[in-house]
Amino acid sequence: MAVQADPGALWKGLARPRLSLSPVRIAGLAAACVALVPLAFVILLAVTGRGREAVSITLLIEYATTTAFVTLFVLAGAVSLGTASAWLVVMYDFPGRRLFEWALALPLAAPAYALAYAYADLLDVAGPVRTAARAAFGADLPLDVRSTIGAGLILSLAFYPYVYLTARAAFVSQSVCSLEAARTLGCSPSQAFWRVALPMARPAIAAGAALALMETLADYGAVSFLGVQTLTTGVVRSWSAYGAPAAAARIALVLLAAAAVLLWIERLGRGGQGYGASSQRWRDLPRARLAGLPAARATGFCALLLTLALLLPAGWLVRLAARATPDFGRLAQAAADSLALGLAGAALTVTLAAIVAFGARGSRIAGRIVSLGYATPGAVMAVGLLAPAGYLWRGVAGAAGASGVALGLLLFAYAARLMASALEPIDAGLTRITPSMDLAARTLGETQTGALRRVHVPIARGALFTAALLVFVDVLKELPATLILRPFDFDTLAVLADNYAADERLGAAAWPALLIVLLAAGPVAILSRAVAASRPGGGP
């Protein structure tokens, strides 16, 4: 009598070791917990810190109120700009669309503080715009960039690409049948957008908005230069200006709580759901061809957005740089240090993220731990690592040993915060690995580790490269954690720009800021074009 095998039972038997506490799974959970180490030390320092380092309630309320205002402003600005531009380039054909499709993501290469330097000089009281306005009209223009509204505008321009990329990826992946059904039922193009396309893209837009808001909470360079007092500036100032790490940790607790609430709201907004269509037919999106005034308006909107977010500030920085003689030796050393940190930070972060993705695949706990790390601003990560830094510095001899410890902790801070941004593309790459692949590898005698090395890693190679590019760009632009944890006489391009800007030497600050843009522009362009080609069954 033949015995019929049950494929489901066979798969369950082979999958059981992966769901148990195998060495690979334990390693994945342990790697995820890297993000918790700085947070634990922040809480410990805030609770046990001694000395006259009490935080004024009035000052704390001022920091929190300003942070909330700027964050809400960026939420409205980034979501509006990112969603509108994504819908235009996906659903309409107009002059310049192919260029704008990938170029609208390029502002990610420019750090927010670079935009702040340019606009502060361009729109200052003695700047060319307001000076020309007074000469022409006899009145000044209400363009005070050094304000909470000015900071909100600049951060909206700097961070809208996060929403643009996620919204565009959602729009290009939507089923044509859903939109055609809406039009068949009498919906106009605008009604189809509001009633069908936007609800289907809501989880992606919520994810992009959360990224923009987390970056807003973490920003230090732009708001500090503009004189806007947020929780992040309070953390850095308490540590650097007043030498009060316990006070910095207590302000960081408020910032950490805000980040946790933001992460919870983001998950609530997505509702743990995805939106999709029942049709499995994927065709190229039928873009509506615009002509005349509508085409001019679409091209004008995209061109204006790209100009305000990148071309105008970058061009003004070039003008400022041309009028200043840089210290080429110091600039070259800062560029080399930035590249070294970017490559090392990308390697460490992607390695840890890969361990989490491969080992704790499907684990909600690991994903949420890593997400909490990304929601935590760099300044908070750095303050949390000050306590173990003190013990480690006392255990090493000489300046070289202390510098090595500082650099190690700095890389640890990068990995703890940026692991989530690396985990996202790696997880997406692993969706190509089906249970039958694992089943075949195990049937052929491969262990779980062998299947990981010979099946998972080769298939996810492209996703690992994408993750490395993301982390490299973020490390190049990162300022507060580097400012706090770097060794003495170790200046990255971001630190060098901040030091010059603090002395109002904007011409000198323009050189390192422009170098960051140039180094980050290539990876950002590669990522943007990859998203443009991500539609299932079709091209961009």
| φ/ψ bin of 537: left (φ > 0), alpha (ψ from -120 to 50), beta (otherwise) | left
pLDDT of residue 19: 45
pLDDT of residue 298: 93
pLDDT of residue 399: 61
- For range 81-89, the mean pLDDT: 91
CA geometry: angle 250, 252, 253, nearest 5 deg: 65
pLDDT of residue 387: 75
pLDDT of residue 77: 95
pLDDT of residue 54: 59
pLDDT of residue 178: 58
pLDDT of residue 464: 79
- Identify the residue with better confidence: 385 or 400: 385
Say which residues have a Cβ less than 8 Å from residue 223's Cβ, sequence separation at least 6: 70, 151, 155, 229, 230, 232, 233
pLDDT of residue 165: 87
Q: In the numeric block, which tokens belong to residue 527? A: 């990522």
pLDDT of residue 435: 59
Say which residues have a Cβ less than 8 Å from residue 111's Cβ, sequence separation at least 6: 158, 221, 222, 477, 479, 494, 513, 516, 517
| CATH classification (class only), 53-114+151-277+293-323 | mainly alpha
CA gap 377, 417 in Å, rounded: 8
CA gap 478, 482 in Å, rounded: 7
- Residue 119 has φ and ψ, to the nearest 5°, of -70, -30
Tell how far CA 208 is from the center of its chain.
Answer: 9
pLDDT of residue 30: 82
- Is pLDDT of 11 > 80? no
Bridge-partner residues for 289, per DSSP? 93
The full set of domain ranges for the chain reads 20-37+325-504, 53-114+151-277+293-323
- Is pLDDT of 315 > 70? yes
Query: Is the separation of the CB atoms in 493 and 515 below 8 Å?
Result: yes
Indicate the SS3 state at residue 96.
Answer: coil
CB atoms within 10 A of CB 391: 9
Q: In the numeric block, which tokens belong to residue 96? A: 């310049």
pLDDT of residue 5: 42
Question: How do residues 284-308 score in pLDDT, each as one tens digit?
Answer: 566 778 888 989 999 999 999 999 9
pLDDT of residue 58: 83
The dihedral over CA atoms of 219, 225, 229, 232, expressed in degrees to the nearest 10, equals: 30
- Identify the residue with better confidence: 264 or 257: 257
- Identify the residue with better confidence: 166 or 201: 166
Nearest to 535 by CA among 184, 295, 274, 286: 286
Query: Residue 344, class by beta-carbon neighbours within 10 Å (0-12 exposed, 13-18 middle, 19+ buried)?
Result: middle
Percentage with pLDDT > 90 across the chain:
33
- Identify the residue with better confidence: 319 or 185: 319
- Is pLDDT of 320 > 60? yes
Bridge-partner residues for 442, per DSSP? none
The mean of the pLDDT values for the chain is 80
Question: How do residues 460-505 score in pLDDT, each as one tens digit?
Answer: 677 778 888 889 999 999 999 998 888 888 899 999 999 999 998 9
pLDDT of residue 70: 95
CA distances from 130 to 113, 127, 307, 309 (A): 21, 6, 19, 20
Question: How do residues 124-150 score in pLDDT, each as one tens digit?
Answer: 888 888 888 888 887 777 878 899 999
Indicate the SS3 state at residue 92.
Answer: strand
Query: Is the separation of the CB atoms in 481 and 414 below 8 Å?
Result: yes
Q: In the numeric block, which tokens belong to residue 172? A: 């290009």
> Which fold would CATH assign to domain 20-37+325-504?
MetI-like fold (1.10.3720)
**In what helix (H) or strand (E) does residue 398 lie, and over which residues does it extend?**
helix 398-430
- Residue 92 has φ and ψ, to the nearest 5°, of -130, 150
pLDDT of residue 132: 86
Residue 269's pLDDT band, with cuts at 50, 70 and 90, is low
- For range 446-456, the mean pLDDT: 60
CA gap 347, 464 in Å, rounded: 10
pLDDT of residue 337: 93
The pTM of this model reads 0.84
pLDDT of residue 1: 37
- For range 107-127, the mean pLDDT: 92
Nearest to 263 by CA among 497, 39, 473: 39
CA gap 202, 193 in Å, rounded: 12
Bridge-partner residues for 93, per DSSP? 289
Indicate the SS3 state at residue 525.
Answer: helix
pLDDT of residue 514: 95
CB atoms within 10 A of CB 144: 15
CA gap 196, 52 in Å, rounded: 57
CA geometry: angle 456, 459, 461, nearest 5 deg: 100
Q: Output the DSSP codes for 116-181.
A: HHHHHHHSSTTSHHHHHHHHHHSS------SSHHHHHHHHHHHHHHHHHHHHHHHHHTS-HHHHHH
- Identify the residue with better confidence: 414 or 15: 414
CA gap 278, 493 in Å, rounded: 50
pLDDT of residue 141: 79
Q: Which residues of 494-523 are buried (b: 16+ CB within 10 A; e: fewer)?
A: bbbbbbbbeeeebbbbbbbbbbbbebbbeb
pLDDT of residue 256: 84
pLDDT of residue 450: 59
pLDDT of residue 263: 76
pLDDT of residue 530: 72
pLDDT of residue 152: 95
- For range 324-331, the mean pLDDT: 89
pLDDT of residue 194: 59
CA gap 77, 408 in Å, rounded: 37
Domains 20-37+325-504 and 53-114+151-277+293-323 share a fold: yes
Query: Is the separation of the CB atoms in 226 and 298 below 8 Å?
Result: no
Which one-letter DSSP state was computed for residue 35? G
What radius of gyration, in Å, describes the C-alpha atoms of the chain? 25
Residue 533's pLDDT band, with cuts at 50, 70 and 90, is low
Say which residues have a Cβ less than 8 Å from residue 210's Cβ, sequence separation at least 6: 262, 263, 265, 266, 269
Q: Output the DSSP codes for 193-229.
A: IIIIIHHHHHHHHHHHHHHHHHHHHH--HHHHHTT--
Bridge-partner residues for 288, per DSSP? 92
- For range 309-332, the mean pLDDT: 93
Residue given tokens 């500082």 in the structure block: 406
- For range 187-207, the mean pLDDT: 68
Question: How do residues 44-81 score in pLDDT, each as one tens digit?
Answer: 888 876 655 556 788 888 899 999 999 999 999 999 99
